[in-house]
Structure formats: structure tokens, C-alpha cells
Structure 1
Amino acid sequence: MVFDQKAFNIRNMTYVIRTAIESDANELSQVRLQVDGETENLDREKGEAYIDEVGFQQIISNDTENERNLFLVAEVDGRIVGFSRCEGHGLKRFSHKVEFGVCVLKEYWGYGIGKRLLEKSVQWADVNDIKKITLNVLETNVKAIELYRNYGFEVEGLLKKDKILSDGQFYNTILMGRFKD
């Protein structure tokens, strides 16, 4: 699905939110790899489940053709600094919902980039008659949980001892969803 480009200016930094295009694939591969090494809030450690340029080209192509998918990127000075995806389901019984995921390079945290990617994804879902958006978030990611709640998400469940982080401890994953009547 294609989304119109939108620019934002926060604390003297301008960034653009736009639909991913196939020529972004190599840079997206690099950004994902870097983000995975900068935070434990995501599912992967650096290098795990690596997606190369060809893999990202395929994802972008599929998302562009599928009206139930949305792939957005955030750019600062022509450099991709974050991205988000909404992925729908092919099964009819799940056709009313999409799953949301987002990541932003640590250097760009605090500029509202993740918030804007979420906001644009929620607006897209509402316009396209998608009734439910789901996501998973690590229990210690308090800022993200608060952000999701501000956009109408609520806790739907808890996966106990779902992840082992670098400290060797187990952590829970919170399942959240936003349902629009």
C-alpha cells in the first residue's frame, strides 16, 4: 500500500515519513541490523534473522501490492533512520486485523519518529477499514507501552518469561491491541 509523504520538524530536525520503495532495500537491511544491536526491546540480537537487500525488495514489493500491508520509512537528510510495518493476514477470519512493528535508530530516539510512524499507521488502518491493530512489546519498554495506550491500545495478554535478555533474566512480553468499531 502506498502512503503520501509527510514532513515533521522537531527541535531543529526535519524528518520525512513515506512509503518504502524497492530502492530502500539495501539501506533498510543495514538499519535493521544496526537497530537490533542497539536495543533489547526487539526480538532479535544483531545478525539474527538477517534480511538482505533482496529480502527487503521482496517484502516492499509484496507490501506495495497488498492493500492490507503498509511499510513506512522515516528519513532524515535522505538517510533512513527508522521504519514500521503493518502486516495483514491472508486468511479471511483474520482479514480485519494487522500486526504493527516499529524500530528507530537509537541516535534518533526522542524526536517522535516512532510516534509518527505509529500515528500514520493508525490513520492508514482507520481509513482502510482495518478493525484491529495488534503488537507485542517487552514489559520493560514503559515509554512504548505508554505511547501505545495513548493511541487506544490496551493490554490483551501476557506471555510470561517470553524472552531471555543479555542479563540472563527472563522477561514478559505484553500483547496489545487497538480495536476500532
Structure 2
Amino acid sequence: MGVTERPTFSSEASKQIYEYVERHGTVKRHRLLDVLSLPAEEFQTHLEALKANGYLQEDGGTLQIDFEFGAVTEYESGDLEFVIRPGRQNDFDGLIETIRDVTAEETYVVAETIAEELLYEDAVTRHNSVKSRMFFVATVDGEVVGWTHLDLPQIDQLQGTAQQTVGVREEYRSHGIGSKLLQRGIEWGEANGFRKVYNSIPITNDRALEFLTEHGWDTEAIRRDHYEIDGEGVDEVMMAREL
């Protein structure tokens, strides 16, 4: 299933199965059968169809939505080895910790909002008729140390643009991890037909603004006093990159 493809269903039962998995990130097959109260044979028929059509995948009795974001890539920077790969539901805690680590050091309101959405929804990946959300993560020895996130609206007028965020834990910076994450998200956007990615940052976050500018992003607009930080109005810089 492509992320730009809105999910469609052949029956109400199929829709119920998919939407429950989508909302919860991962669900055990037997738990889903109990919750939906469908006859076992009917449940099995609809589930197998969803899997065959690329909507759901199953691993050891655990179901999740079937998004194919790309391969796992390994990198070396000096004596540090890191991996960049698609985010998974079992990255949930590591993502929250990493986003909070980054936003504790520098104000990054959009990233803080994403962390709150993750906690509220308890799901890393989302894909429904309104919006899609996906992550790539950077890991060192299996630990999440950085992320790039793309928020992908499903409304027709907005489908060509995606909001992208990126962040790396302070102790893992200066190894090119942020650049690799940013580029991975951009390449994915290009491959999936998006025409622009954008990011909104407080003007006080000099490091983030410099990082994006160095990677070819332009200032599209400035919203005056858009944030209130420590009791003072702070401008928001809206950065974008054409794909």
C-alpha cells in the first residue's frame, strides 16, 4: 500500500479490522478477533484479503499496517556505526525519549507537538483517509538516537506537500546523522511524488535554521510573534525545499 493511496475497503468488516490496527499500531490477532466480535471464519477471510492487498502484515500473530518505506542502510563515521531505517512500532519509547532530549535543549515546537501526538495515539505510523505519518530512525547498537518525520495530509489540495522534522541526540551529533536522516526523508518524498517539504521553527533556534539553510532549504515566510516562549512573543520561520 502506498502512503499517498487512501485506504478503501470491500466491506464494513474489512474497514473495522484495518481501522482498529491502524489506531493501535500493533494488535495481536486473537485480541482483535475478541474485540470485533466477528465470526472466526468471516474474520479470517477479511484479514487474509487485507494482507493480500497490502493493507496489513502479520508477524508471529501480531498485526500492523503494511507500509514499505525502504531498506535499512548502514553508515560509518569515524569509530561510530549507525543505521537508518523505517521506524517501527517497537521504536515508540525510543522516539519519545529522543524527541524530548532534542526539544529539552532547543525550542522545537513542531517536534514537541509530534511527541504529544505519539503519546496520545500510541502509534508510530498512521495512515487513514485524513492523514498519514511516518518516521525514519537512526539507531546506534539498536538504540534510537535520531529521527526524521513526515506528516502527509490526505486532503487533495495538500497532498503534494509534507511537513518534515528532524533531530539527533546531542551526544551523537557531528557524525552526519542529521544530514542522512534529512536526505532519506527528502528522497522518499521525491520518489512518492511530493513537490515540497516544509518545516516551521522558532527564530531563536539558530542551529536548526542554519542546518536547513546549509542543506538547500529556503525561508518561505515569517510569522511574527507566533509562539510565546518564556513569556515573550517569538517569530516562527517557515522553511521549505522544493523537490
Pairwise TM-score range, normalised by the shorter structure: 0.7 to 0.9
Other-structure match for 1:34: 101
**Count, aligned residues:** 174
Could you give the per-residue CA deviations for residues 144-175 of structure 1, whole angstroms, max 9, x where no partner exists?
Answer: 32332343321110011222334x44321110
CA distance in 1, matches of 2:206, 2:195: 25
Instruction: Name the one with the larger helix percent.
Output: 2
CA distance in 2, matches of 1:70, 1:41: 19
Other-structure match for 1:179: 242
Please tell me whether Structure 1 or Structure 2 has the larger radius of gyration of its CA atoms: 2
Other-structure match for 1:15: 82
Could you give the per-residue CA deviations for residues 126-161 of structure 1, whole angstroms, max 9, x where no partner exists?
Answer: 111111111112223333323323433211100112
Whichever residue aligns with residue 18 of structure 1, its letter is R
Task: Say yes or no: does 1:130 pair with 2:191.
Answer: no
> What secondary structure sits across from 2:149 in the alignment?
strand
CA distance in 1, matches of 2:145, 2:74: 14
Other-structure match for 1:4: 71
**Alpha-carbon distance change, 93 to 84 in structure 1, aligned in 2, over 3 angstroms:** same
> What secondary structure sits across from 1:49 in the alignment?
helix
Runs of 4+ in 1 over 6 A off after TM superposition: none
1:75-154 to 2 correspondences below 5 Å:
75-154=139-218
CA distance in 2, matches of 1:131, 1:69: 17
CA distance in 1, matches of 2:143, 2:161: 31
Question: If the length of structure 1 is used for normalisation, what is the TM-score?
Answer: 0.81
% identity of equivalent residues: 22
> What secondary structure sits across from 1:9 in the alignment?
strand
Preserved contact between residue 4 and residue 18 of structure 1 (Cα < 8 Å) = yes
Cα shift at 1:67:
10
CA distance in 2, matches of 1:67, 1:160: 28
Structure 1 gaps of 5+ residues are none
CA distance in 2, matches of 1:117, 1:132: 17
CA distance in 2, matches of 1:113, 1:106: 11
**Alpha-carbon distance change, 152 to 35 in structure 1, aligned in 2, over 3 angstroms:** closer
CA distance in 1, matches of 2:70, 2:200: 24
Could you give the per-residue CA deviations for residues 40-82 of structure 1, whole angstroms, max 9, x where no partner exists?
Answer: 244577xx83743x834x232x25xx99643111101111011
CA distance in 1, matches of 2:205, 2:192: 29
CA distance in 1, matches of 2:226, 2:78: 37
> What secondary structure sits across from 1:27 in the alignment?
helix
CA distance in 2, matches of 1:96, 1:43: 20
